[in-house]
Amino acid sequence: MASELCKTISVARLEKHKNLFLNYRNLHHFPLELLKDEGLQHLERLYMKRNSLTTLPENLAQKLPNLVELYLHSNNIVVVPEAIGSLVKLQCLDLSDNALEIVCPEIGRLRALRHLRLANNQLQFLPPGGQLLASWLTAAPPSVCRLLTC
């Protein structure tokens, strides 16, 4: 499985793929192959749904700077790193069905963001600027609406 994953990522790097599908791979850690050397500078869409990820790398924005869409739903992510705020081109972020309790304030720096999915998490509160986040939410879950008085 690991060699198949490395091959998939290597091909994406060599052929400069804009989309990379790593769904249903039973990944427990973010693949280091994605972050090697310069990363995948050309990648625009990363699909990593239904894995077992618990964290994201701090250097995500540095290694994948052109991400426009990031699909991480149905993992076990507890914390989103502050570095997420450096993905300046990100328009769609799906973090639904994870284990998030808070959303880092740096997510408010994502000025290109148009769709934010947070359904089925354990959110207790939103950071300052929560109203801005609310404008990005796609189908805000009732737990988030309570926080925002939707």
pLDDT in tens, 59-79: 999 999 999 999 999 999 998
Amino acid making up residue 132: L
Q: In what order do the strands lie in the sheet with 92-94?
A: 19-21, 45-47, 69-71, 92-94, 115-117
Q: Is 135 exposed, middle or buried (0-12, 13-18, 19+ CB in 10 A)?
A: exposed
> pTM for this structure?
0.86
What's the CA gap between 25 and 143, in Å, rounded?
Answer: 30
Kindly report, residue by residue over 16-64, the tens digit of the pLDDT.
Answer: 999 999 999 999 999 999 998 888 999 999 999 999 999 999 999 999 9
